[in-house]
Each structure stands twice: as C-alpha cells, then as structure tokens.
Structure 1
C-alpha cells in the first residue's frame, strides 16, 4: 500500500485534493493511504509516509522538510501548482508515485 502525506498551512486546503487522489487510486485499482496535515504536524507524520507532497504556499519550508525526510529515505516535493489549484487528484497522485520511483 502506498502512503502519501500531504501538508499545507493548516491541513484544510488539501482535504479536497486528498479525496480526489483517493478516488483516482481506487479507479485504477491501487491501494493508497492518503492524508493531510498542517505544517506543524508534517515532520511527525512523515515517519509513516512513503512520500510527502506540500502545498505551494509551503514551498519555503521544502528544504527544512527534506532534511527531516532524509532520515526516512523519502522525498518531499511541492505539489504542482496547476494540479493543486484545480484539485486534480490524478495529477497529484501521479506526481507522488513518480517520486516513489514508479511503485513501492
């Protein structure tokens, strides 16, 4: 099962994207645990994740989060701005999968 963590300022703006990503995963027959947290919880939650996607408004924290993620051997990337703005679950899910090396 793929475990994808999304983080944004409060964890609220990514909730719709999480639901659309889950729906896309189901539609292609993949099992995925996808959840969203606020920026203050991101470091603690990443220990449970295979990859971390952060909202564009948090891009300034990417370097700091990458240092923490390195302890777990996972990637941190800013969600594609177009996918984020359009709540494109398919695009965001594919971005997460590509960061995991295709499959995990």
Structure 2
C-alpha cells in the first residue's frame, strides 16, 4: 500500500510520515508513505493508492481529484489529527478510505 501526503512545501508532513510508519510497523502493515509539496504531487497521483492533503492545502482537493480523474482516492487529513501529528489516526483514515 502506498500513501502520499501532500502539503505546501512537503516538510511539515515529514514528522507525520514518521509517526504513520511507526503505527504501521506496530500493526505489521507493509506501507510506503511519502510526503511531497503540492506542485510535485500533481504529476504523481496515479502512482499512489491514496493521496492525503494537509489541511493547509485542502483548497486543492477538487482540482487534484479532477487531475486524478477520480482514479486515486484523495482526501483531506483531519485538522486535529494533523495538528497533533497523530500517525495512528491518519493511517487508520487512509486505510478506511482505500477500503
């Protein structure tokens, strides 16, 4: 499973990536998680099982959904979970969205 986190510059989500990876290891899940800036994400949407937007770029949701032709699920990370850097909850949200 491949999860892409997207924010303005790709840096603020790096801590969240680390916490999500720890949560995945705890659950014995094989997951690839990466963080990139919004401009880079546009060209790689189809390479991921899900794309999760940081709250600061949520205004890009419909644009990215159209760009992905609705083939890749794209959602916004819960603002509270993002602010608390709650890797477990963000990972659970990604797994739920993928189905």
**TM tier relative to shorter chain:** over 0.9
The residue matched to 2:43 in structure 1 has which SS?
helix
- Name 1:55's counterpart in structure 2: 54
1:81 is matched with which residue? 79
1:68 match: 67
Give the aligned CA root-mean-square deviation in angstroms: 0.9
Aligned-partner Cα distance in 2 for 1:34–1:45: 14
Distance 1:45 1:10 in 2: 16
Quote the residue 2:11 is aligned against: 12
In structure 1, runs of 5+ residues without a counterpart are: none
CA distance in 2, matches of 1:70, 1:21: 27
TM-score normalised to structure 2 length: 0.96
Deviations 1:24-70 (A, max 9, x none): 00100000000000010111122210000001010111000011223
TM-fit CA distance, 1:98: 0.7
Residue of structure 2 in register with 1:99 after alignment: 97
Gaps of 5+ in 2: none
> Partners in 2 of 1:49 and 1:87 — Cα distance?
21
